[in-house]
Copies of this chain bind each other. A is one copy, B any other.
Amino acid sequence: MRDLEELKLRVRAFVAERDWDRFHSPKNLAMALSVEASELVELFQWLTEDQSAALDSARCARVADELADVLWFLVRLSDRLDVDLLEAAERKLAANARKYPADLVRGRARKYDEY
């Protein structure tokens, strides 16, 4: 797999071959994406933060699998709405740089609450 563009085209073909476009309203795709995100959360919910940073290889493989599912629906929904994901990410990085200036945020005890 070379890049997001190739993934988009392969997912699109996969869906067309199964005649699944009729299920893929943006509303349904957003739901499906959030369900996959929760399957990811489920793998971490009873672990401590330290345990979550030291997964054994079996659990890490399951995590990779869920990450792929999230990406699948993210790419599919973006394609359906004609959104360029990398452009959107670029805009977001710029917006976040303004919202969280490094010199103000750095060293705060909490993540967002205090400046």
A residues sitting closer than 8 Å to B (CB atoms) are 1-4, 7, 10-11, 14, 17-20, 23, 25-28, 30-50, 52-53, 55, 60, 63-65, 67-72, 74, 77-78, 80-81, 83, 85-93, 96-97, 100, 102, 105-107, 110-112
Contact = CB atoms under 8 A, between A and B. Distances in A.
Chain A contact surface mostly:
helix
A8 B18 CA distance: 33
A106 B37 CA distance: 27
A106 B26 CA distance: 21
A63 B26 CA distance: 10
A36 B88 CA distance: 14
Contact of A93 (B10, B25, B80): B10
